[in-house]
């Protein structure tokens, strides 16, 4: 099913360019040139993503985003927002993210970069909707409490950085599944703060040192070569490949 994107942008050339590019990439697109019209469209059609310009003729994008996120009794408040602005000051970026925007793109921007950001936000928010983070994650003798941001191993408290909890949250939503390094970057870091995939590897190494009994022979945070990582929550050790359980009787 095609994702529905609402573009709220008063500059006709940018609006048309975004509309054409997004349609060519397979998205359903609706557009508005004014904040009030965009807000009405969002309330009526509930798009999957909103691309919102800050400088609008009747209201600024910050106010539109704030009003969208205030609709607590409606699905509208959960719609992800990517803000566009010619103002690249850090305070504007922080303001946008604080009121609920999912990403912030400074003009002029590359259409290819914007498409990548759109795809990243849609992937991240779609997985969040389908797989809510559980309150707690358990594997082996490890207990991770996401609500309290606490970790314990064999009953003893372990200090973990916030990024480690973010990575473990991704695994908790998909136990047993292979998760690529790029997916971990999307969901635990966010596109606008992309490090490189080596950073993911380094964080996994640190998590193993903190949580595995034998970090060099992990039983839970497993590497899937050429792809990424997998969290095994079961406590049983895998049987050796040549064990009698795997041998066919003659």
Q: Is residue 105 included in any domain, yes or no?
A: yes
| Tens digits of residue pLDDT in 186-240 | 778 764 455 577 888 999 999 999 999 999 999 999 999 988 999 999 744 443 4
Q: Are residues 121 and 195 both part of a single domain?
A: no
Closest CA to 184 of 148, 150, 215, 221: 221
Nearest-Å Rg of the Cα atoms of the chain is 22
Find the DSSP H helices in the chain: 12-24, 35-45, 61-69, 90-98, 111-130, 162-173, 181-184, 197-211
Of the residues 85, 104, 130, the one at which a domain ends? 130
CATH code of the domain covering residue 30: 3.40.50.2300
Pair (63, 17) in one structural domain: yes
Residue with tokens 């490890």, as numbered in its chain: 142
Six token digits for residue 171: 């695994």
pLDDT at residue 127, as a whole number? 53
71 shares its domain with 145: no
Note whether residue 159 is domain-resident: yes
Helix (H, G, I), strand (E, B) or coil at 58: coil
| Domain harbouring 224, CATH code | 1.10.10.10
Q: Which pair of structure tokens corresponds to residue 55?
A: 């400088």
pLDDT at 238: 41
Residue 19 CA to residue 6 CA, distance in Å, equals 9
pLDDT in tens, 169-192: 989 988 899 998 888 887 787 644
Question: Kindly report the CA angle at 105 between 99 and 109, in degrees rounded to 5?
Answer: 165
Does residue 118 sit in the same domain as residue 8?
A: yes
Q: How many domains does the chain have?
A: 2
Tokens for 179, please give them: 């998760």
Strand partners, 158: 151
Order of all β-strands in the sheet with 178-180: 178-180, 228-231, 221-224
- The total of other beta-carbon atoms located within 10 Å of residue 10's CB is 16
Note whether 126 and 8 are same-domain residues: yes
Residue found under tokens 């790029």: 182
Q: How many CB atoms lie within 10 A of CB 41?
A: 18
The confidence score (pLDDT) of residue 168 equals 95
pTM above 0.75, yes or no: no
- What stretches in the chain show pLDDT beneath 70? 1, 72-73, 88-89, 126-132, 190-195, 235-250
Asked whether residue 142 is assigned to any structural domain, the reply reads: yes
Give how far Cα 158 sits from Cα of 126, 147, 169, Å. 31, 15, 16
Q: Is residue 213 part of a domain?
A: yes
Q: Which structural domain range is residue 209 located in?
A: 136-231
Q: Are residues 120 and 10 in the same domain?
A: yes
């Amino acid at each position: 099913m095609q994702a529905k994107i609402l573009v709220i942008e008063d500059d006709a050339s940018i609006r048309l360019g975004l509309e054409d590019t997004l349609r060519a990439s397979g998205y359903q697109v609706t557009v508005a040139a004014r904040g009030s019209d965009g807000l009405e469209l969002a309330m009526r059609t509930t798009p999957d993503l909103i691309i919102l310009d800050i400088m609008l003729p009747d209201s600024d994008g910050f106010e539109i985003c704030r009003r969208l996120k205030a609709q607590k009794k409606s699905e509208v408040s959960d719609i992800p927002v990517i803000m566009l602005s010619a103002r690249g000051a850090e305070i504007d970026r922080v303001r946008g993210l604080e009121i609920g925007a999912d990403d912030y793109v400074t003009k002029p921007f590359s259409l290819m970069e914007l498409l990548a950001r759109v795809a990243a936000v849609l992937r991240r928010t779609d997985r969040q909707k389908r797989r809510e983070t559980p309150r707690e994650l358990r594997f082996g003798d490890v207990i991770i409490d996401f609500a309290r941001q606490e970790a314990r191993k064999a009953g003893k408290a372990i200090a973990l950085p916030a990024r480690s909890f973010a990575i473990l949250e991704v695994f908790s939503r998909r136990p047993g599944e292979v998760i690529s390094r790029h997916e971990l970057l999307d969901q635990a870091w966010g596109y606008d703060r992309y490090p490189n995939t080596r950073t993911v590897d380094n964080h996994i190494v640190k998590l193993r040192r903190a949580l595995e009994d034998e970090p060099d022979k992990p039983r839970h945070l497993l590497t899937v070569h050429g792809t990424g990582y997998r969290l095994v929550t079961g406590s049983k050790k895998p049987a050796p490949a040549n064990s009698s359980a795997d041998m066919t009787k003659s």
